[in-house]
Amino acid sequence: MLSMSSSSKKRQLSASVAQHVARLREQSIMVFGSRRDQLDEKLRQLVQSCEKWESASRDAARAAAARAKKLWADAKLLYPREALELLPPLWSCPMHQELMETGAGNCPVCGMPLEPIYVTQPQLTEGPIIGAEIIAGGPLEVGKRADLRIRLFFLDNSQPVVLSDLEETHTRKIHLLISDITETDYHHEHPEPAGDGEYAFGFTPRRPDTYRVWADLQPVRTHVQQYSVADIPSNTPRRARLIENEAENRHAEIDGYKFDLSFEKDVIRERETVAGKLRVTAPNGRPCDKLGVVMGAFGHFVAFGDDFATVLHLHPTGPLITDSEARSGPDLPFYFRSKKAGLFRLFAQIRIEGRDFFPRFVLHAGLRPAGDAGPSERTSRVGQEASGRLGEPEGEYGEADDRGWQPRARR
């Protein structure tokens, strides 16, 4: 087709190729990591070659046509064979594989952009395939930075998990969600490779309690996110307890900044997707429009269930933010949904002028407790004390997010 010499036909074909490439970029879910970067570059060069072929002289046009043909062949080699058989009729969320939509958009459960799937794609496992354990030189000490390692291994053969075994989600291949047993002190860390399947990280605990780590991973084998769970040794294991029936609280304040949650419905029921919004107000009382980019978004949300086993990792709606200098605010929209009824401590991670804030909220998913007339207006202060009782997850497994049962850590 590139041998056609008519100017009008050249323009028509060049525009058609550009449109086809644009659609192809949207439907390239089966190409991951560095191969995806190579594909984007090949397609960019392909469009450039077609534009040159359209306007160049005969000899230059012939060379541009030959280059375009080679680029197209090279691009096809980056796809699995089954991906070239049929373009996808459906879109789904990498975190919620049960969701199927007929067009592009955002996941109504977690807010992540939907990705197209191919009808020839094999059935992916819903269970976790990676385990984790913590390597520590000693128990945690309050106020002292702990330098730790997490070892990741495949459950079927105990082989170490290296970075090439994982796919990137929200700019990172490993997210560590860390909370103490009272679900008061939350940390979000990104470890660095430190050995064969081992990754180094550190944080400073503020409480003398057991801390648990949920490693949020997306294995190359399955393309489905999962949690690997492990506890960190403590001098005072499980002395602290969660507050029983802690009052719902949708307001927090840190150093003059106010953080307010609101939802489209006052009562959040289990298995129901509810649109939410976080509004940030600056110390001067004005809406804060200086929300910075953290992990490709203007904020993140993590909710811990009152069983100290269930975790919900939520993201704001909208596409990945690639401009590190971009700013937004004062509102941050997202979706909340849990398959389990119960109480959740929800932490937001907001970056303002280079500083990360972690406001804490308390939500009830399910029927509102008897006698509870509405959300509490009390302020949740950083470092407030908590006491009560905590129940252990039953059996060998605990639930994490909406992705099925997750393994307890090996000890």
Query: How does the average pLDDT of the chain come out, rounded?
Result: 77
pLDDT of 372 over the 50 cut: no
Split at pLDDT 50, 70, 90, the class of 33 is low
Q: How far apart are CA 116 and CA 100, in angstroms?
A: 9
Confidence of residue 159 (pLDDT cuts 50, 70, 90): very high
Tell me if 239 sits within 8 A of 181, measured CB to CB. no
What's the token pair of residue 281?
A: 């107000």
**Separation between Cα atoms, residue 300 and residue 359, nearest integer Å:** 11
| 272: phi then psi, degrees, rounded to nearest 5 | -120, 130
Structure tokens given for 180 = 């103490």
Write out the H or E segment, with its range, that includes residue 356.
strand 355-357
**What SS3 class is residue 229?**
strand
| Alpha-carbon 367 to chain mean position | 28
Residue ranges covered by each domain of the chain: 7-84, 130-232, 251-385
Contact 169, 216 (CB under 8 A): yes
Look at the block and give the residue holding tokens 């509004």: 279
The answer, yes or no, to whether residue 80 has pLDDT greater than 70, is: no
Q: pLDDT of 173-207, one tens digit each? A: 999 999 998 899 999 999 999 989 999 999 999 98
- Output Rg (C-alpha) for the chain, integer angstroms: 24
pLDDT of residue 32: 62
Percent of the chain with pLDDT over 90: 35
- pLDDT for 238 equals 61
Sheet (strand 251-254) strand order: 251-254, 257-263, 274-281, 331-336
pLDDT of residue 23: 64
201 bridge partner residues? 148
Find the mean pLDDT for residues 352-378: 70
For residue 76 the two structure tokens come to 């096809």
Q: CATH for 130-232, among 3.40.50.1000, 3.10.450.50, 2.60.40.1930, 1.10.580.10?
A: 2.60.40.1930
Asked whether this chain's domains 130-232 and 251-385 adopt the same fold, the reply is: yes
> Quick one: pLDDT band at residue 25, thresholds 50, 70, 90?
low
- In the predicted model, what is the mean pLDDT of residues 161-165? 95
* 216 burial type by CB count under 10 A (0-12 exposed, 13-18 middle, 19+ buried): buried
**18 pLDDT above the threshold of 90:** no
More confident position, 378 or 203: 203
pLDDT of residue 19: 72
Backbone angles phi, psi at 40, to 5 degrees: -60, -40
Task: Give residue 399's pLDDT.
Answer: 37
What is the pLDDT averaged over residues 228-244?
Answer: 78
User: Residue 388: phi, psi to the nearest 5?
Assistant: 150, -155
Mean pLDDT of 232-251: 80
Which one is the CATH code of 251-385: 2.60.40.420, 3.60.70.12, 3.90.1640.10, 2.60.40.1930?
A: 2.60.40.1930
Which of 42-56, 160-174, 267-281 shows the lowest mean pLDDT across its residues?
42-56
**Of the given ranges (31-45, 129-143, 212-226), which has the lowest mean pLDDT?**
31-45
Lookup result for tokens 């955002």: 106
